[in-house]
């Protein structure tokens, strides 16, 4: 059912007058904007607009608001829980043309940019300045999208997530009002934390049209390593002990043996087919050596061996590129399958128990589903490869996902560490927050009374 009943032609002609050829109903472009990287059945939007500026986004929202047209912000479509899928039709607002870096303040370690800039684009721009932006979800997502889903990644254990690294936002609300949240100051006690409210709101409160981000100086010394373990428990116990000892490790990532096979295949590598940690240390040369020695000892106590070091920039890049391409590697496990990457996050002390139980559950559920995780945060992913046309298999996948989230919640954890709620986990948001969801909905209604901003996400309909 289209969101544009009889007013469709009026709204469309207003949007076309505004955007010209940057408004399209071309079916392949609509299809491309109707799907993400998850398993959910695509739903194309009624049209796709490509605004060039904040002012155009404001004008678009005013038209959509007047004609009650749902608005779905879109970056590059790498969400995993259906966040960009126009469940109720409407206009997909593709921000990829807004891809300029507007102002670099190297001396203050901050940058102001448009939402369509991707994380790799930003880091390539920063490389010559000796700076970097640490948040790195697997995909080369846009920074607007990353802010909207409160993205995270391999560096979060040391540098935090988008929650910690967004200083300020420009947001266009459903009625076209432009909001500036935050300043360039490193901290503030001035009023409600609107920046934090919009980060992670999954496009349900407004459209991000500008971001100010924290940057970091490149460390003097960096070294990466891969270490294989005899069993899953040894690998995860190593992580727990490293974190509990307060070692300021920059990255500590777990991949199970199934995944290592896929990684070897996809990235043409020859790592051992065992539960494996990918590690990275940042600091001064002495500091890195001290950290590496301490973690090396913990590893060997837990059956870790065969450290493979990567110190040269190109070797480290290859190692982490392999890690980031895990989702694509997974596809080799079942080339005709569709990927459903779910994630949870638990207190670190419960991590081994949670992963061991989950591995058993996967096997008992007869699913193809490797485990990979940003384990230093207590966060891990289960990447199911599914035949979405097989109802019985999908039922097993749904039941497994339910148990996974319930297990994490029962351990004091959260239903998602970084992928967000989207469409799939809306019921679990209620299980996690209880009355908190009513409060969230109350805020949603206050800012978007017509429910036009990405409707059908976060909150159950009706």
Residues 204-233 binding its own copies (CB under 8 A) are 205, 216-217, 219
Supply φ then ψ for residue 428, to 5 degrees: -75, -25
Closer by beta carbon to its own copies, 368 or else 409: 409
424 touches its own copies (CB under 8 A) = no
Stretch that binds its own copies, among 32-40, 44-52, 113-121, 145-153 (CB under 8 A): 145-153
Contact region for its own copies (CB under 8 A) — 41-49, 54-62, 108-116, 389-397?
108-116
| Percent helix, strand and coil across the chain, each to the nearest 5 | 40, 20, 40
Give min distance, CB of 130 to its own copies, in A: 10
Residues within window 362-391 making contact with its own copies, judged by CB under 8 A: 377-379
Q: How far apart are the first and last CA of the chain?
A: 17
Query: From the CB of residue 293, how many other CB atoms can be counted at a distance below 10 Å?
Result: 9
Nearest to 258 by CA among 382, 85, 74: 382
Closest CA to 58 of 286, 254, 198, 210: 210
Integer Cα distance of 385 and 371 in angstroms: 12
Helices (H), ranges, 285-349: 285-301, 313-324, 326-333
Beta carbons of 385 and 369 less than 8 angstroms apart: yes
Among the listed residues 9, 187, 270, 392, the single contact to its own copies using CB under 8 A: 187
Nearest-approach distance from CB 286 to its own copies, in angstroms:
5
Instruction: Say whether residue 124 binds its own copies (CB under 8 A).
Output: no
Q: Which two tokens stand for residue 258?
A: 């199934």
Helix 257-267 × helix 326-333 angle, to 10°: 100
Q: How many residues bind its own copies (CB under 8 A)?
A: 87
Using the rule CB under 8 A, which residue among 237, 253, 256, 432 binds its own copies? 432
> How many other C-beta atoms can be found within 10 angstroms of the C-beta atom of residue 395?
10
User: Any idea how long the chain is?
Assistant: 462
CA atoms of 316 and 323, how far apart (whole Å)? 11
Nearer to its own copies, 100 or 180 (CB): 180
Cβ–Cβ < 8 Å for 362, 400: yes
Enter the tokens of residue 309: 């070091």
Of 2, 183, 300, 364, the residue at the interface with its own copies (CB under 8 A) is: 183
Q: Within positions 66 to 105, which residues make up the interface with its own copies, using CB under 8 A? A: 105
Q: How far is the CB of 344 from its own copies (least distance, A)?
A: 8
Distance (Å, rounded) from C-alpha 422 to C-alpha 402?
15
Please pick, from the candidates 10, 53, 188, 364, the single residue that binds its own copies as defined by CB under 8 A: 188
Q: Give the C-alpha separation, 432 to 76, whole Å.
A: 29
Stretch that binds its own copies, among 16-24, 38-46, 49-57, 413-421 (CB under 8 A): 413-421
Non-local (6+) Cβ contacts of 450 within 8 A are: 65, 68, 174
Which of 415, 424, 451, 454 lies at the binding interface for its own copies (CB under 8 A)? 415
Q: Looking at residues 154 to 173 of the shown chain, list those that interact with its own copies (rule: CB under 8 A).
A: 156, 160-161, 163-164, 173
Q: Which residue number, 97 or 433, has a Cβ lying nearer to its own copies?
A: 433
**Residue nearer to its own copies on the CB measure, 54 or 415:** 415
Site for its own copies in 25-54 (CB under 8 A): none
Binder among 155, 414, 424, 451 for its own copies (CB under 8 A): 414
Closest to its own copies by CB, 83 or 118: 83
Q: Which stretch binds its own copies (CB under 8 A): 52-60, 64-72, 363-371, 428-436?
A: 428-436
Q: Which of residues 321-350 bind its own copies (CB under 8 A)?
A: 345-349
Binding residue (CB under 8 A) for its own copies from 100, 120, 127, 180: 180
Shortest Å distance, C-beta 432 to its own copies: 6
Q: Which of 242, 271, 268, 243 is nearest to 255 (CA)?
A: 271
Least distance in angstroms from the C-beta of 291 to its own copies: 8
> Least distance from C-beta 209 to its own copies, angstroms?
14
Q: Which residue has the tokens 């607009």?
A: 49
């Amino acid at each position: 059912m289209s969101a544009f009943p009889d007013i469709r032609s009026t709204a469309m002609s207003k949007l076309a007058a505004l955007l010209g050829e940057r408004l399209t109903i071309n079916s392949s472009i609509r299809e491309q904007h109707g799907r993400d990287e998850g398993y959910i059945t695509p739903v194309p939007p009624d049209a796709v607009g490509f605004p060039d500026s904040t002012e155009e986004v404001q004008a678009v929202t005013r038209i959509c608001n007047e004609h009650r047209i749902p608005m779905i912000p879109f970056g590059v479509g790498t969400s995993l829980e259906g966040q960009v899928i126009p469940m109720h039709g409407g206009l997909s607002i593709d921000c990829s043309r807004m891809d300029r870096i507007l102002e670099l303040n190297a001396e203050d370690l901050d940058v102001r940019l448009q939402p369509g800039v991707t994380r790799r684009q930003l880091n390539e721009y920063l490389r010559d300045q000796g700076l970097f932006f640490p948040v790195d979800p697997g995909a080369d997502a846009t920074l607007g999208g990353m802010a909207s889903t409160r993205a995270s990644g391999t560096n979060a254990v040391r540098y935090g997530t988008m929650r910690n690294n967004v200083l300020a936002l420009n947001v266009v609300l459903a009625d076209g009002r432009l909001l500036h949240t935050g300043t360039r100051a490193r901290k503030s006690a001035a009023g409600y934390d609107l920046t934090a409210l919009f980060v992670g709101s999954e496009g349900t409160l407004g459209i991000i049209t500008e971001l100010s981000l924290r940057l970091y100086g490149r460390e003097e010394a960096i070294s990466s390593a891969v270490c294989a373990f005899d069993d899953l428990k040894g690998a995860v116990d190593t992580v727990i002990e490293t974190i509990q000892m307060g070692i300021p490790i920059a990255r500590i990532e777990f991949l199970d043996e199934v995944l290592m096979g896929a990684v070897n295949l996809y990235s043409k590598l020859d790592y051992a087919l065992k539960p494996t940690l990918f590690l990275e240390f940042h600091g001064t040369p002495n500091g890195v050596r001290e950290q590496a020695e301490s973690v090396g000892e913990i590893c060997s106590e837990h059956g870790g061996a065969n450290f493979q070091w990567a110190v040269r920039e190109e070797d480290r890049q290859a190692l982490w590129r392999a890690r980031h391409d895990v989702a694509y590697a997974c596809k080799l496990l079942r080339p005709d399958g569709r990927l459903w990457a779910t994630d949870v996050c638990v207190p670190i002390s419960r991590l081994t128990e949670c992963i061991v139980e989950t591995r058993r559950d996967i096997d008992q559920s007869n699913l193809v589903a490797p485990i990979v995780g940003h384990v230093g945060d207590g966060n891990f992913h289960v990447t199911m490869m599914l035949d979405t046309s097989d109802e019985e298999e999908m039922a097993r996948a749904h039941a497994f996902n339910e148990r996974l989230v319930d297990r994490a919640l029962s351990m004091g954890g959260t239903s998602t560490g970084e992928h967000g709620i989207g469409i799939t986990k809306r019921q679990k948001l209620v299980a996690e927050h209880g009355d908190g969801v009513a409060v969230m909905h109350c805020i949603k209604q206050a800012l978007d009374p017509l429910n036009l901003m990405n409707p059908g996400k976060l909150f159950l309909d009706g």
